[in-house]
Structure 1
Amino acid sequence: MAVDDKHISYRIYLVAVFIFLMAIAIVVKLTNIQWVDGDYYRKLAKQRTVRNFIIPANKGNIYSADGSLLATSIPNYEIRFDAKAPKKETFEKYVKQLSDSLETVLDRPSGYYEKELRKARENKNRYYLIARKLSYTEYVKIKSFPLFNLGAFKGGIIVEQETVRKHPIGKIAERTIGYDKIDPATGMEVGKGIEWAFKSYLNGKDGKILKQKIAKGQWKPIRDVNEVDPIDGYDVISTIDVFIQDIAHHALLKQLEDYEADHGCVVVMETETGYIKAISNLGRSEDGSYYETTNYAVAESHEPGSTFKLVDLMAILEDKVADTSTVYDSHGGEIRYYGRAVRDSHKGGYGKVSLARGFELSSNTVMVQAVYENYKSNPSKFVNHINELGLNKPLGLHFKGEGRPYIPQPGDKHWSGTTLPWMAFGYNVSVTPMQTLALYNAVANNGVMVKPQFVSEIKEWNKTIKKFDTEVINPKICSPETLKKVKAVLANVVKKGTGSKLYSKDFSMAGKTGTAMVNYGNAGREGMYYASSFAGYFPADHPKYSCIVVVHKPNTAKNNYYGADVAGPVFKRIAQKIFTDAPSTNKIKKLDSKIQKQEASYDKYTAEANKKINQIPNLKGMPGMDAIALLENLGLKVKVNGMGKVKNQSIQAGTSISKNATIVLELS
């Protein structure tokens, strides 16, 4: 017995020691929590019960130059159902009514919704999707339906809201209007166009509010005021004109469809300001439809072809090494440099023609000879003209991803004997359509090169925050003498040159056609394709707009891929529609000028009306309206038959006037 008692005592001691050690451990842990790690746990508790919530700032809108809305933020709503939240009797009472109501707004029958709601209830689904991408009106309507109108805890409705960016004019100019967002795959910020370039103005600054967690997962504001108030974004006023944009978009789209082209772009710029009034960039999808893909006008740098010959003509005239009247022999349409042929598109060439005529006909042989003969001993002199025009560097647009030009420089490792002659007809160089347009616009703008602008001002309601004035890149691209000759030749391109199909005696245009072989040296004949272009301005005599059209890879099976036939008609359609369909802004002049016939009629009426008349006057031959006014002023009642002038009167002239008598006038 004593042995058993002894064993029991040992066990008691062991339990006591274990409890004692546990007590010590608890005390140590409590001490550690309270004093050693106290700050950490207090901070953790606060984080889990008190935290800052973001108050999103309202993003600014983007408007067109004429006040149309191009981009705005609207709320999208998602409705879900916590099937466990309602009590059984409440759910059974309203489930049929809710299903009937959902049928009126959504696209499925009542029976479907009742079945799905009951299944969610049975599966204890606390996050069943009812509908997503709802408008505010649809959200308010669904929120008022039976069961859901009881709220989140009694009715189980869960509402989630997100703000989405919408373009009210649809896909038109979508790449220029752009976007600003985070790529979910990489977490990196991505963006394009005005949305990205001017995000610092549009986005505003989010606010913060401190909330404390209370029962049932709800959060309650700790203070009546925000920690940080949100600041709404500013509105951006773009230079885009919706009317011109619509014309340009559909003109390009029609031509791309007709020629089954791969992609293309068109830009319309206001000559004096550099404001971009329209820009369209369309690429072909797999199903053959076209949509806004890449901003080709800004991002795509490629060999321009014959539109680059404007640089040749300006350099030659400016250096006075030849004149527009200097004659060149096209040598049957083919000349060779270092064993490589330069050919004219017209088989057999153009014979002996002047430099101006060679430009108008877009003769490669003429323009190459003019450049090579005058600059072969000093190619830097020619290349410096290109550099001075700014074609060797980007325009410095606000947009992300502007294409980089390439102008070979003498002494570079890629410079060879054929570089200079090939540059003369738009090869071995690379520029963006926007750069080419800036050059042609400078000619239209009396030699002043301005930077293309997509935004005119930043506004907060009616208050202007910042204005973007016209920015001059080059105040004088050439001398007035050179400019005058260049303008005349560009006008002749349309009148009697390669652009003669575009000519209209009622509307003047000036510009240059271009047809370039793309990938001719890199991908073999299968990879080579044509790019057709036209750059110019209108009206030719007093330019208001400049425009460039580029169409890549037109279907050669249609036997036509030249700039005049593919790109030129787009240019003409835009130019004519702008000035024939646009609301008239002409002012009526000489409003105060007098018309003799009207004055004589008025004087006759005034003389009769001012007489102190006691007798019925002779009204024959007087306009009906004048006769009525005269007789009513005499106190007579007048009845009229017909229209025009008085032919007969029921009371003859000379009869004494009786007040309130009725006289009948018969008009011719």
Structure 2
Amino acid sequence: MKKKYHKFNLRFYSIVVFLLLIAIILSSKLIYIQVVEGDKYKKIAEKRTLKNVIVKPIPGNIYSDDQSLLATSVAKYELRWDSKVVNNKDFIKNKEKLAHGISKIIGSDYLKIKKDLQRAREDDNRYWLVGKNLSYSDYIAMKKLPLFNLPSFKGGLIIQQNIIRERPLGKIAERTIGYERPDTDGRFFRVGLEGAFSSLLEGKEGYRLKRKIANGKWKSINDTNEKEPKEGYDIHTTLNINFQDIVHNSLLEQMEKYEAEYGTVILMEVKTGAIKAISNLGITSNNKYFEKLNYAVGTTQEPGSTFKLMSMIAALEDGVVKPSDMIDTGNGERIIYGKKVKDSKKGGHGSISVSKVFEVSSNTGIVNIIYDNYNDNPKKFIDRLYNMGIHKQLNIPIKGEGRPKIPYPTDKDWSGISLAWMAWGYGVSLTPLQILTFYNAVANNGEMVKPIFIDKIGRLGRPPHIKYSKKVLNPSICSKETLSAVKKMLLNVVDKEWGTANKIKDKNFTIAGKTGTAQTEYTKNSTEYISSFVGYFPAEKPKYSCIVVINKPNKTKGYYGAQVAAPVFKKIAKKIHSGITNDIYIPFSNLGLTKKKSFEKKESMPNLIGHEVMDAIVFLEKNNIKVNVFGKRGKIKKQSVVSGTPLNKIKSIDLSL
């Protein structure tokens, strides 16, 4: 019996010792994990429940030359509520006021909001939707409500900011201002100025620490960021919205009239090369026009008769002809290597001066000048063109500039007709902007300047990060004597009865320029046309140069450059020269007392940035808009409502000084 009892005790003690050993091992392991590996496992836990979320910066704005907004980033807010962090006493005390406030801001039924708040509380909902796509004003109003005015760990308000890019001018100049769109492979790319300066506009990202809550949702731990994002730089363009409106609508009217495929207009400041307006309109499948592609910058095409200026300057510079020399155009036809050159005037112009060859746009005349004088040495003619710089790209910041094509005699595709056809603008290719840059050089006394779209890049109230100035591409494209001769020819194209653009002559100001009517798709059965006019105004003291190109107008309605493109040029030039702006959008460029009368009739929100706050308040309150001002002094640097928004849809606006 004692033996059995002894065996039992031994077995019992063995089990106890074994269990104690296991307990000691487990305790040691727990102590080791807590003391030695504690930080390691804490970090693993934090990685699963904490994370740094990228906070996108607010991209910079794009402005016109008078500081009107062309593109801006508007903050939209999504607000949610974590009901679990609020104690019961505070919830009961503030529930009704909170429901009233929310219903008033989002325009929903008070009783429904109150019921939804109660249900969210009972369900321990940690991500109840308060409102989506809220404006900055609504967001600020929400943050003033009971509970929501507390830090998020007490009041439960969860804030998500989304940045939306808006263009107050809508579709006008959209392709040049730029936008973001998805590629075929799902990636995003930007076009226009948005794309060219994306690295400066975007700013630098920050981050905010968030903790994982119920249902896999994430909530900010603090109301502030761990690292603040850095706002992007603002782009101040050379574009003028008054001129842009004139250019856009003048082109659109003519495109619709002639049912053209696409068209473009560029307006440039002669002295500086600053682009003041640019419009690119292409037709859609439903026969509407919009900014489809940047034809002005990217589309190279045979210029036709507008290239005769380059040919004429080359001939005059080389001294092969003088303006007064007589050229026999015969019956208006000439055969070269089996190919016919023909004038638009039936029977030709007979014997006319070199100047008149240009002014009446005689194809046979210009071919006789160039082919007869350079056929033995075509390299001399091409070298003269190259010396003027027309074979080079302009290297503008907007991506996709077309490459000029000016054939050289050593090229493989050079043939016996190449020289003759180049003389009147065939076999060569240039973009509308490249053609305009050359004509602008003539207007600018021979100095060719690079087209510029940007005045400066920087942040409000600080010195510019980058300042752009005039860049000379060629200090002199030709001699003063040649320049004087071709200027007179360009004036006579419009001024003289025989000039191809005489119909756009105006008694109040002078226009100088050249018509162009280029055949396209002439290798096919049905020939189409490109109608163009390029020149400058006023002719005696040029301030602006302009090109109008309209592709494939309806031939039954008209296709000559003088008929289709030149009237657009005149309409633009006349409005700009005379200062007629009654029927165009006038920017809120001055809020001073001297201009108050013109603003009383405004129907949309102007750009208030940079103006005196008291002047803005007078204007806004006259339109029954409540104004909230943040800051003690200074001019307005931010506005919560984007310019261009209809005034009758605005209840309040926040202005930051």
TM bucket (normalised to shorter chain) is: 0.7 to 0.9
**Equivalence for 1:254:** 253
**Equivalence for 1:450:** 449
**Equivalence for 2:221:** 220
Q: Is the 8 A contact 2:58 2:163 kept in 1?
A: no
SS at match of 1:76: strand
**Equivalence for 1:137:** 137
Q: Give the TM-score of the pair, scaled to structure 2.
A: 0.74
**Equivalence for 2:615:** none
**Equivalence for 2:467:** 467
Q: Does 1:507 align with 2:509?
A: yes
Written as runs of structure 1 = structure 2, the 5 A alignment for 1:155-554 is 159-179=159-179, 181=180, 183=182, 186=185, 188=187, 190-208=189-207, 211=209, 213=211, 218-220=219-221, 228-460=227-459, 461-496=461-496, 497-521=499-523, 524-526=524-526, 528-554=527-553
| CA shift for structure 1 position 284 | 2.0
**Equivalence for 1:564:** 562
Q: Percent identity?
A: 47
Q: Is the 8 A contact 1:298 1:434 kept in 2?
A: yes
Q: Which region of structure 1 is more displaced relative to structure 2, 451-460 or 331-340?
A: 331-340
Q: Measure, in 2, the Cα distance between the counterparts of 1:142 and 1:370.
A: 77
Q: Measure, in 2, the Cα distance between the counterparts of 1:33 and 1:380.
A: 87
Q: How many residue pairs align between the two structures?
A: 574
Q: Is the 8 A contact 1:80 1:131 kept in 2?
A: yes
Amino acid in structure 1 at the alignment position of 2:565: A
Over residues 188-213 of structure 1, what are the superposed CA-to-partner deviations in whole Å (9 max), with x where a residue is unaligned? 4521222222234333333345x374
Q: Does 1:48 align with 2:48?
A: yes
Aligned match of 1:581 in 579, 597, 604? Answer: 579
SS at match of 1:395: coil
Q: Measure, in 1, the Cα distance between the counterparts of 2:110 and 2:288.
A: 38
Over residues 373-414 of structure 1, what are the superposed CA-to-partner deviations in whole Å (9 max), with x where a residue is unaligned? 111111111112222222222100011111122222212121
- Unaligned 5+ segments in structure 2 are 1-13, 582-657
Over residues 354-388 of structure 1, what are the superposed CA-to-partner deviations in whole Å (9 max), with x where a residue is unaligned? 22112111111111221111111111111122222
- Using CA pairs under 8 Å that are at least 6 residues apart, name the structure with larger relative contact order, 1 or 2: 2
Q: Measure, in 1, the Cα distance between the counterparts of 2:287 and 2:402.
A: 26
| CA shift for structure 1 position 271 | 0.6
| CA shift for structure 1 position 60 | 2.5
Q: Measure, in 2, the Cα distance between the counterparts of 1:358 and 1:570.
A: 25
- Unaligned 5+ segments in structure 1 are 1-12, 584-668
Amino acid in structure 2 at the alignment position of 1:342: V
Q: Is the 8 A contact 2:536 2:544 kept in 1?
A: yes
CA gap of 1:43–1:506, structure 2 versus 1, over 3 A, is same
| CA shift for structure 1 position 569 | 0.9
Over residues 296-331 of structure 1, what are the superposed CA-to-partner deviations in whole Å (9 max), with x where a residue is unaligned? 111111111111111110010010111222322333
Q: Measure, in 2, the Cα distance between the counterparts of 1:106 and 1:540.
A: 59
Amino acid in structure 2 at the alignment position of 1:164: I
Q: Measure, in 2, the Cα distance between the counterparts of 1:444 and 1:311.
A: 14
SS at match of 2:310: helix
CA gap of 1:197–1:290, structure 2 versus 1, over 3 A, is same
Q: Is the 8 A contact 1:148 1:157 kept in 2?
A: yes
Q: Measure, in 2, the Cα distance between the counterparts of 1:33 and 1:327.
A: 104
SS at match of 1:283: strand
CA gap of 1:52–1:97, structure 2 versus 1, over 3 A, is closer
Q: Measure, in 2, the Cα distance between the counterparts of 1:122 and 1:377.
A: 96
CA gap of 1:88–1:22, structure 2 versus 1, over 3 A, is closer
Q: Measure, in 2, the Cα distance between the counterparts of 1:126 and 1:336.
A: 85
**Equivalence for 2:636:** none
Q: Is the 8 A contact 2:388 2:478 kept in 1?
A: no
Give the root-mean-square deviation of aligned CA atoms: 4.5
Q: Measure, in 1, the Cα distance between the counterparts of 2:471 and 2:43.
A: 54
CA gap of 1:375–1:154, structure 2 versus 1, over 3 A, is same
**Equivalence for 1:660:** none
Amino acid in structure 2 at the alignment position of 1:449: M
Q: Which region of structure 1 is more displaced relative to structure 2, 437-446 or 285-294?
A: 285-294
Q: Measure, in 2, the Cα distance between the counterparts of 1:246 and 1:282.
A: 13
Q: Measure, in 2, the Cα distance between the counterparts of 1:41 and 1:102.
A: 42
- Report which of the two structures shows the higher radius of gyration computed on alpha carbons: 1
Q: Which region of structure 1 is more displaced relative to structure 2, 276-285 or 468-477?
A: 276-285
Amino acid in structure 2 at the alignment position of 1:483: L
Q: Is the 8 A contact 1:451 1:471 kept in 2?
A: yes
CA gap of 1:194–1:21, structure 2 versus 1, over 3 A, is same
SS at match of 1:511: strand
SS at match of 1:261: coil
**Equivalence for 1:57:** 57
Amino acid in structure 2 at the alignment position of 1:220: I
Over residues 111-149 of structure 1, what are the superposed CA-to-partner deviations in whole Å (9 max), with x where a residue is unaligned? 999999999999999878776433223445567789989
CA gap of 1:142–1:477, structure 2 versus 1, over 3 A, is same
Q: Is the 8 A contact 1:214 1:220 kept in 2?
A: no
Q: Is the 8 A contact 1:510 1:540 kept in 2?
A: yes
**Equivalence for 1:625:** none
SS at match of 1:322: coil
Q: Which region of structure 1 is more displaced relative to structure 2, 240-249 or 474-483?
A: 240-249
Q: Is the 8 A contact 1:240 1:278 kept in 2?
A: yes
**Equivalence for 1:630:** none
CA gap of 1:51–1:317, structure 2 versus 1, over 3 A, is same
Q: Measure, in 1, the Cα distance between the counterparts of 2:332 and 2:24.
A: 106
Q: Measure, in 1, the Cα distance between the counterparts of 2:95 and 2:311.
A: 79
CA gap of 1:83–1:42, structure 2 versus 1, over 3 A, is closer
Q: Is the 8 A contact 2:183 2:189 kept in 1?
A: no
Q: Give the TM-score of the pair, scaled to structure 1.
A: 0.73
CA gap of 1:22–1:298, structure 2 versus 1, over 3 A, is farther
**Equivalence for 2:8:** none
Q: Measure, in 2, the Cα distance between the counterparts of 1:155 and 1:42.
A: 28
